[in-house]
Homo-oligomer: A and B are copies of this chain.
Amino acid sequence: MAQKYSHIQQEAYEANMQLPKLNLVLFTFGNVSAADRSLGVFAIKPSGVPYEDLTPEKMVIVDFDGNTVEGILRPSSDTKTHAVLYKHWEKINGIVHTHSTYATAWAQSLRDIPIYGTTHADHNTVDIPCAPPMSDEMIGGNYEYETGFQIMNCFTDKGLSYEEVEMILVGNHAPFTWGKTAAKAVYNSAVLEQIAQMAYITESIKADALRLKDALIKKHYERKHGANSYYGQ
């Protein structure tokens, strides 16, 4: 029976193990999940288990309503946020949550990260959005579930597509990223942290730094994305 999920357990395990390697987590402050849409489930890190103690078998299997399908351990406390996003954003198969230093500091400042250079434009054509803090009712209610909706509402309000922009800051909290695979979602977390650090230093060097101009945003984004992209193999 367990064999049924071993591919996403393996995928989630490997992606989770990248977080400490990429310096994106202290202790257990992060989690990755990997979904199989044909099975309607995802594998996610168990809550509070140190990375060095993880094994593929410990990854918990959860459905898109947040119910545990298989696994002895309790899944990540952020599991419902993952479930909501998988349920409504049908083309993603991996989600990452970290408290990486610079991205979290931007989230704490409640500011979008301005697009200051091509490193940013290689991955996004817009400022990295920062969702506002939730209402006290949402916080006091089904918190992690509502966090998923807060993320989606922010994208709706700003007119963003989750297929183009694969990262967000949750205000006062920390970043979430996603992608077509768990590995891509981890990649996005590392890119976000790098962009966040560079933007912070840029503003320190020049308080009134200018956003990148449209032609350069378009050019760099299209080098790596879309029909005419020519980056990579």
Chain A residues proximal to chain B, CB less than 8 Å: 26-27, 29, 46-49, 73-74, 77, 99, 101-102, 104-111, 116-119, 133-134, 136, 139-140, 143, 172-174, 187, 190-191, 194, 197-206, 209-210, 212-213, 215-216, 219, 223, 230-233
Contacts and interface: CB of A to CB of B under 8 A. Distances in A.
7 contacts: A27-B191, A47-B233, A73-B233, A105-B202, A107-B117, A109-B205, A139-B216
A140 B213 CA distance: 12
A224 to B, nearest CB: 8
A206 B200 CA distance: 10
A101 B215 contact: no
Contacts of A136: 213, 215
A200 B190 contact: no
A79 to B, nearest CB: 10
Given A26-B194, A27-B187, A74-B230, A205 B117 contact: no
Contacts of A134: 216
